[in-house]
Structure 1
Amino acid sequence: MSSTPFPPVLRRISASDNAAIAHVIRQVSAEYG
């Protein structure tokens, strides 16, 4: 796991990374929404 929140090359996002990002977005949306 890399500690970089958003790597410069977004084309290399794997399915698991995408799911993790979606999970974080949902948490943030829950906090601010």
Structure 2
Amino acid sequence: MPALELVMEVVVAITGDREDAEKWKAKWVEAQRP
């Protein structure tokens, strides 16, 4: 998901915290499941 990867980079840039971005990504992926 290129769009998700782009969002991840933006989150990391804003928060400066890649670990937090990974948690956010995990929540997003869970939310996308049917």
Q: TM-score by structure 2 length?
A: 0.51
Q: CA RMSD in A?
A: 1.7
When the two structures are aligned, how many residues end up with a matched partner?
22
Greater C-alpha radius of gyration? 1
Change in CA separation of 1:14 and 1:27 when aligned onto 2, cut-off 3 Å: same
Q: Identify unmatched segments of 5+ residues in structure 2.
A: 1-10
Runs of 4+ in 1 over 4 A off after TM superposition: none
Instruction: Considering Cα pairs closer than 8 Å and 6+ residues apart, tell me whether 1 or 2 has the greater RCO.
Output: 2
Identity %: 5
